[in-house]
């Protein structure tokens, strides 16, 4: 059987949670599919580095742009382009023009099915959803084959706010290869890092975007003690703001920002504490990776984070509106090694039991296979 031709519509293809999952699925399906990836930000493509070299994938320059004002002219261009594919996979708000085009021209013959994935919101919607975008999603998703969400919170929004029917929504929690994170972190895997005597290393893996509120994490580490060091792995537009905050609070000599690093399994175990200071999350893959590596977690209570960690760790997940409580959580973990080890062991056990990627991969394989009309899609990938 010929490989399925799959079109991916992304808001950005810089490596983050949704991109890491999409790449993992592409690698898993192997020769069963050929892929074309469009990004609304065509220069943001760092996730391509994680794609297996054997995967047939293209990043065309002459495809219709996902960026621009909605218009029938643009939508017709999408529809013409869609005809060459067997399946369309769209991701987040930045792909919604493609989704709307598929719905508006749903009666046109020869169009492939579309499965939309929603993983969360940007800075402009983390406090209150945009009513215009709610309306756009409600109507635009009308002809989608399925809507996939990873979290309970997004499942409720999809049903109650975007008014999608129960049978269209599929919640598939994110999963990882937990066994890879059980191995000892590799020396040299974190450029510029040499552990100092007596220090406690707080780490996070995140895109440097305002929604992640990393200056909050800088302030928390500065308040946690002079032996606390912060490592932020990721890249993005907020880097200068983070560095400025570190200098302001006297943490600049204890802050390491190595940029984007592929394969967190190689280095995440070098952290003593994993922290998330975001204003909005849903079901972060980086949190699962940290749990699988046996780390305790200090985080803001957004999305599904509190229900994701072990019960014992839930007391260290604090309201996003109370920065002082977040500081207290991080400080307590920094001061008590045995507590860190105990919570880390319980987080690892939960990750092993609930977040193994085998279940996630099989559910996506079944979903995409049904849409493609291929019962055994990707089974030999």
Flag whether pLDDT at 154 surpasses 70.
Answer: yes
Alpha carbon dihedral 72, 74, 77, 82, in 10-degree steps, equals -90
334 class by beta-carbon count within 10 Å (0-12 exposed, 13-18 middle, 19+ buried): buried
Task: Express each pLDDT in 160-169 by its tens digit.
Answer: 999 999 999 9
**What is the per-residue pLDDT for 262?**
81
Residue 380 pLDDT exceeds 60? no
Q: For the CA atoms of the chain, what is the radius of gyration?
A: 21
Give CA–CA dist 288/237, Å, rounded. Answer: 25
What is the tens place of the pLDDT at every residue in 307-342? 999 999 999 999 999 999 999 999 999 999 999 999
Return the closest-CA partner of residue 334 out of 292, 288, 284, 271.
271
The helix or strand, by DSSP H or E, that contains position 290, with its residue range, turns out to be helix 285-292
Whole-number pLDDT of residue 272: 98
Q: Please report the domains of the chain, with CATH numbers, ordered by start residue.
A: 4-175+356-372 (3.40.50.2000), 178-354 (3.40.50.2000)
Task: Give residue 381's pLDDT.
Answer: 46
Most confident of 38-47, 52-61, 128-137: 52-61
Q: Per-residue pLDDT averaged across 160-180, rounded?
A: 94
Mean pLDDT of 136-151: 96
For the entire predicted model, the pTM comes to 0.78
Q: What is the pLDDT of residues 75-120, one digit of tens each?
A: 999 999 999 999 999 999 999 999 999 999 999 989 999 999 999 8
**Could you tell me the maximum CA-CA distance found in the chain, to the nearest angstrom?**
67
Identify the bridge partners of residue 297 per DSSP, sorted by sequence position: 274
Q: pLDDT at residue 252 above 50?
A: yes
CA 268 – CA 271 distance, rounded (Å): 6
Min mean pLDDT across 172-176, 240-244, 326-330 is at: 172-176
Residue 356 vs residue 381, higher pLDDT: 356
So what's the pLDDT on residue 1? Answer: 86
Chain mean pLDDT for the chain = 94
Answer whether 296's CB lies under 8 Å from 273's CB. Answer: yes
Give the containing element (helix H, strand E) for 20. Answer: helix 17-29
Q: Is the pLDDT of residue 123 over 80?
A: no
* 305 three-state secondary structure: helix
Q: What is the DSSP string of 323-357?
A: HHHHHHHHHHHHH-HHHHHHHHHHHHHHHHHH-BH
Q: Residues 317, 355, 174, 18: is their CA dihedral positive or negative?
A: positive
Surface-to-core class of residue 116, CB atoms within 10 Å of its CB (0-12 exposed, 13-18 middle, 19+ buried): buried
What pLDDT does residue 220 have? 98
Inform me whether the pLDDT recorded for 121 exceeds 80.
Answer: no
What pLDDT score does 148 carry? 98
Strand order in the sheet with 273-276: 255-259, 228-233, 200-205, 273-276, 297-300, 317-318
- pLDDT at residue 127, rounded to an integer: 66
Instruction: Kindly provide the residue ranges of all beta strands, DSSP E only, lying in the chain, ordered along the sequence.
Output: 4-10, 33-39, 57-58, 87-91, 114-117, 146-149, 169-171, 200-205, 228-233, 255-259, 273-276, 297-300, 317-318
Q: Write out the two tokens for 353.
A: 């039991």
Euclidean distance between CA atoms 244 and 241, whole angstroms: 5
- At 254-298, the pLDDT tens digits run 999 999 888 899 999 999 999 999 998 888 989 999 999 999 999
Best CA proximity match to 16, nearest among 174, 124, 141: 174
């Amino acid at each position: 059987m010929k490989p399925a031709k799959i079109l991916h519509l992304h808001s950005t293809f810089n490596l983050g949670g949704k991109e890491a999952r999409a790449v993992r699925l592409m690698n898993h399906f192997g020769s069963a599919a050929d892929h074309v990836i469009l990004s609304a930000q065509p220069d943001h493509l760092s996730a391509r580095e994680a794609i297996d070299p054997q995967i047939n994938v293209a990043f065309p320059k002459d495809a219709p742009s996902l960026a621009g004002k909605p218009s029938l002219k643009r939508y017709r261009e999408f529809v013409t382009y869609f005809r060459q594919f067997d399946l369309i996979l769209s991701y987040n708000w930045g792909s919604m023009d493609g989704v709307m085009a598929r719905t508006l021209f749903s009666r046109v013959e020869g169009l492939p099915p579309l499965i939309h994935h929603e993983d969360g919101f940007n800075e402009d919607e983390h406090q209150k959803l945009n009513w215009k975008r709610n309306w756009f999603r409600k109507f635009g998703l009308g002809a989608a084959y399925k809507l996939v969400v990873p979290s309970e919170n997004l499942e409720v929004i999809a049903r109650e706010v975007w008014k999608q029917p129960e049978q269209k929504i599929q919640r598939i929690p994110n999963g990882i290869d937990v066994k890879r994170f059980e191995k000892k972190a590799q020396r040299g895997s974190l450029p510029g890092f040499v552990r100092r005597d007596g220090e406690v290393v707080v780490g996070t893996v995140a895109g440097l975007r305002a929604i992640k509120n990393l200056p909050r994490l800088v302030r928390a580490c500065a308040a946690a003690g002079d032996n606390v060091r912060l490592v932020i792995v990721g890249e993005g537009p907020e880097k200068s703001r983070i560095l400025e905050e570190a200098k302001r609070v006297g943490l600049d000599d204890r802050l390491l920002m190595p940029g984007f690093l592929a394969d967190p399994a190689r280095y995440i175990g070098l952290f003593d504490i994993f922290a998330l200071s975001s204003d909005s999350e849903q079901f972060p893959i980086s949190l699962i990776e940290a749990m699988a590596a046996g780390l305790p977690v200090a985080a803001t209570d957004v999305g599904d984070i509190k229900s994701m960690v072990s019960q014992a760790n839930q007391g260290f997940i604090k309201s996003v509106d109370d920065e002082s409580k977040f500081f207290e959580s991080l400080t307590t973990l920094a001061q008590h090694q045995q507590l860190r080890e105990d919570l880390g062991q319980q987080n690892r056990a939960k990750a092993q039991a609930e977040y193994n990627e085998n279940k996630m991969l099989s559910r996506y394989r079944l979903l995409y296979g049904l849409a493609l009309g291929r019962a055994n899609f990707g089974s030999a990938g």
